[in-house]
Chain A
């Protein structure tokens, strides 16, 4: 069964450093998403992406965050200057369509900012 894959599974970084989280969405999907989950809390929406541009973003997704689809398979989330509060599990997701369709999630990247 096709799945969303994310790398790395764990990322440790120093505060102020840049990190790039990588995702390979399911191949025939058109919409891509990043969510995050702080330990013990609910899954929070960050951004959705379609046709090489951001469709929607939350208030969490400030200027320190950016997304990119650098080629036909990868979808990345960059945090330019990490803060302690960026420590969380980051999930990538994809869906065939965006209009009320289920999202398929990857296993996540655990980001720890020290």
Chain B
């Protein structure tokens, strides 16, 4: 079965609000996680990554939180903008594999 999965297929937020996208993973041996953004008709674009020796990592307007106890990953986007509208995927390297494995994706819709 897949290693990662997403709780919600669609998230709608107002422009300027903060967005939180969640992801659950099943493989406790996974030690590296990535969030990708995919705009319509384009390839996945790297947003931020985190290794299992960390529980939080911040980028520009984005923060990833990792809770290894409950095997949960989240992506927080501050002050969401219309340009943030896209599908967001979490991905990991399942233990023993060389293949980055994607979850099902959450569509973020930003309302003006």
Residues of chain A whose beta carbon lies under 8 Å from any beta carbon of chain B: 4, 33, 35, 41-45, 48, 55-56, 58, 91, 93, 98, 100, 102-108
Residues of chain B whose beta carbon lies under 8 Å from any beta carbon of chain A: 31-32, 34, 36, 38, 41-46, 49, 51, 89, 93, 97-105
Whether B34 and A102, one on each chain, are in contact in the complex, defined by CB atoms closer than 8 angstroms, is yes
Whether B97 and A91, one on each chain, are in contact in the complex, defined by CB atoms closer than 8 angstroms, is no
Taking CB as reference atom, which chain B residue is nearest A46?
B99
Q: How far is the CA of A56 from the CA of B97 in the complex (A)?
A: 8
- Other than the given A42-B104, A102-B49, A105-B36, 7 more pairs (CB < 8 A) read A4-B43, A44-B102, A48-B99, A55-B98, A91-B44, A105-B44, A108-B41
Whether B46 and A43, one on each chain, are in contact in the complex, defined by CB atoms closer than 8 angstroms, is no
Interface SS of chain B: helix, strand, loop or mixed?
A: loop
Which residues of chain A come closer than 8 Å to B104, judged between CB atoms? 41-42
Whether A58 and B99, one on each chain, are in contact in the complex, defined by CB atoms closer than 8 angstroms, is yes
Which of A4, A45, A56, A100 touches B32 (beta carbons < 8 Å)?
A100
Q: How far is the CA of A55 from the CA of B98 in the complex (A)?
A: 8
Given A100-B32, A107-B42, A45 and B105 contact (CB-CB distance below 8 Å): no
Which of B42, B45, B98, B103 touches A56 (beta carbons < 8 Å)?
B98
Min CB–CB distance A76 → chain B (angstroms): 17
Given A43-B89, A102-B49, A107 and B43 contact (CB-CB distance below 8 Å): yes
Q: How far is the CA of A95 from the CA of B63 in the complex (A)?
A: 23
Taking CB as reference atom, which chain B residue is nearest A95?
B100
Report which residue of B42, B44, B97, B101 has the largest number of chain A beta carbons within 10 angstroms of its beta carbon: B44
Which of A42, A45, A102 touches B103 (beta carbons < 8 Å)?
A42
Taking CB as reference atom, which chain A residue is nearest B103?
A42
Which residues of chain A come closer than 8 Å to B44, judged between CB atoms? 43, 91, 105
